[in-house]
Amino acid sequence: MADLVAAVAVRDSKDPDGPKLVFGPGAWQTFAGRVKGGHLDLS
């Protein structure tokens, strides 16, 4: 995860040359909140 000024970039640490995802602040907060709240199946 990279903390950018206006975005958060995420990549798979096992595949550092693979695709990266970039989230705006609002989208990242929504995603993180849903993960913390147990609303996503991460298995």
Q: Residues in the chain, how many?
A: 43
Confidence of residue 26 (pLDDT cuts 50, 70, 90): very high
9 — pLDDT class (breaks 50, 70, 90): confident
Question: Model pTM?
Answer: 0.63
Q: Which residues contact 4 (CB under 8 A, 6 or more apart)?
A: 22
Better-predicted residue by pLDDT, 17 or 2: 17
Structure confidence by residue, pLDDT tens digits, 10-23? 999 999 999 999 99
Instruction: Please list the helix, strand and coil fractions of the chain in percent, rounded to the nearest 5, in that order.
Output: 30, 25, 50
Specify the pLDDT at position 27. Answer: 95
